[in-house]
């Protein structure tokens, strides 16, 4: 199983803790140490599972908007996007549980025209105010169809580290990685009002594979 580059520090710490606690359990609890070691082994395995990088065949897209992450669609509504678009847009929000793949992917192809990191709170990721009050990043891409699409990584109650690798001027390719969020979080995508929304609330998405909307040419 291929692991994401962001896993290195977490896995080192998890390995050291597993060894230390395991040795202490064996020393003090003898045969009863299995009651400690087995649950720890499950948690240790889940750390590796969280940082997995699935092998996915990413297609080329022009007008399609693809799911930026694995997760569940929890919101589709018209909102006021005040940071970059400064106007009305359709917000599609996808919530990721700690068991989902947490690679963040471009939802559209085009050119990166804006990026910004915002420190903030750690409200639960499905809370509506998390989009504007939590730690988050905002990226805007001018799509191949000449639309401005904004998307936002949002830290949740558990997620405490967001990374994004894109820079203004980069070429964005729908479905390809631009960042990562550790342990439970959410992504919002802000689309033009005339966008054809294909997904619905409750849909389970596969990042980079599922088409969630279609931009007008």
**Are 212 and 188 a contacting pair, CB within 8 Å?**
no
The pLDDT score that the predictor gives to residue 162 is: 87
Confidence of residue 149 (pLDDT cuts 50, 70, 90): very high
- Segment 79-132, tens digit of pLDDT: 999 999 999 999 999 999 888 999 999 999 999 999 999 987 766 655 566 566
Among the options 7, 93, 130, 185, which is catalytic? Answer: 185
Give the whole-angstrom CA distance, residue 177 versus residue 106. 6
Stronger pLDDT, 125 or 155, i.e. the higher one: 155
At 32 the three-state DSSP class reads helix
Q: Is 130 a catalytic residue?
A: no
- Give this prediction's pTM: 0.90
Please report how the helices 8-29 and 34-50 are oriented relative to each other, as an axis angle in degrees rounded to 10. 170
CB 107 within 8 A of CB 92: no
Tell me the DSSP string of 62-95: SSEEE-SSSEEEEEEEEEEETTTT-EEEEEEEEE
Rounded-to-integer distance, Cα 172 and Cα 109, Å: 5
pLDDT tens-digit series, residues 159-216: 557 899 999 999 999 999 999 987 768 899 999 999 999 999 999 999 999 999 999 9
Whether residue 133 has pLDDT greater than 90: no
**For the segment 192-205, what is each residue's pLDDT rounded down to a tens digit?**
999 999 999 999 99
Taking residues 26-39, what's their average pLDDT?
94
Single out the residue of 1, 95, 8 nearest to residue 54, CA to CA: 1
Nearest CA-CA partner of 130 in 201, 61, 188: 188
Instruction: Extract the tokens encoding 144.
Output: 């191949």
Element (H, E) at 131: helix 130-133
Residue 26 in this model has a pLDDT that exceeds 60: yes
The pLDDT tens digits of the residues spanning 58-70 come to 999 999 999 999 9
């Amino acid at each position: 199983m291929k692991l994401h580059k962001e896993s290195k520090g977490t896995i080192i710490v998890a390995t050291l803790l597993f060894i230390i606690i395991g040795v202490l359990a064996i020393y003090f609890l003898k045969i009863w140490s299995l009651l400690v070691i087995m649950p720890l082994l499950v948690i240790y395995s889940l750390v590796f599972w969280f940082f997995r990088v699935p092998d996915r065949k990413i297609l080329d897209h022009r007008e399609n908007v693809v799911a930026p992450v694995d997760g569940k669609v929890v919101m589709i509504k018209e909102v006021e996007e005040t940071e970059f678009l400064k106007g009305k847009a359709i917000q599609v929000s996808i919530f990721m549980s700690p068991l989902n793949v947490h690679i963040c992917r471009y939802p559209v192809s085009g050119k990166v025209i804006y990026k910004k990191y915002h420190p903030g709170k750690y409200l639960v990721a499905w809370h509506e105010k998390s989009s504007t009050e939590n730690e988050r990043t905002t990226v805007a891409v001018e799509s191949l169809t000449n639309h401005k699409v904004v998307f936002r990584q949002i830290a949740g109650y558990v997620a405490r580290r967001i990374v994004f690798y894109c820079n203004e001027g980069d070429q964005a390719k729908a479905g390809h990685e631009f960042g990562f969020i550790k342990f439970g979080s959410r992504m919002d995508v802000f689309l033009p009002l005339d966008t054809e929304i294909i997904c619905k609330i409750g849909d389970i998405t596969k990042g980079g594979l599922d088409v969630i909307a279609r931009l007008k040419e």
